[in-house]
Amino acid sequence: MNMRQSLTAVIERNTTLTGEFTTEPYEAAWAGEARWFVRVLDAAGRSPRLVARTQISPDGLHWCDLDETDQSISPADGPVHSWPATGFGGWLRLRGTVVDEAADPAPDESARLKVLIYLALKA
């Protein structure tokens, strides 16, 4: 019996997100399973929340959405949020927007979230 290999990468550490963003990419071609974790450390603005989507790439340079699923992350729902990514290619990253209570990006970037973003991978 072989032991499964796993790795958890810290993609963003103590990062303050405002408006639109993308995370650093991570090469995950060896993995058969992937799961995102977003931990909200601090929030500022009118009921800020993060709307994120998993993106994939064959080369780490050119990106497309993995699927049409948006993840809505609100600090009011708890400090840690998680979802799986399946059927991905060689590289993974998150693309998202921090929005305010009206679900609009705050033009003055008053809606802010300080986060840790992890990517857990298993072979």
- Does residue 80 form part of some domain? yes
Q: How far is residue 41's CA from residue 15's CA, in Å, rounded to a whole number? A: 9
How many structural domains does the chain have? Answer: 1
How, if at all, do strands 91-99 and 71-73 pair?
Answer: unpaired
- Does residue 49 form part of some domain? yes
Print the domain residue range for 102.
6-122
- Please say if the pLDDT value at position 107 is more than 70: no
What CATH number is attached to the domain comprising 118?
Answer: 2.60.120
- Residue 105 has what pLDDT? 67
- Does residue 1 form part of some domain? no
Q: What is the pTM of this model?
A: 0.92
- Please say if the pLDDT value at position 110 is more than 70: yes
- Please say if the pLDDT value at position 2 is more than 90: no
- Interval 9-60: pLDDT, tens: 999 999 999 999 999 999 999 999 999 999 999 999 999 999 999 999 999 9
- Does residue 15 form part of some domain? yes
- Does residue 118 form part of some domain? yes
Q: Rounded to a whole number, what is the distance in angstroms from the first to the last CA of the chain? A: 14
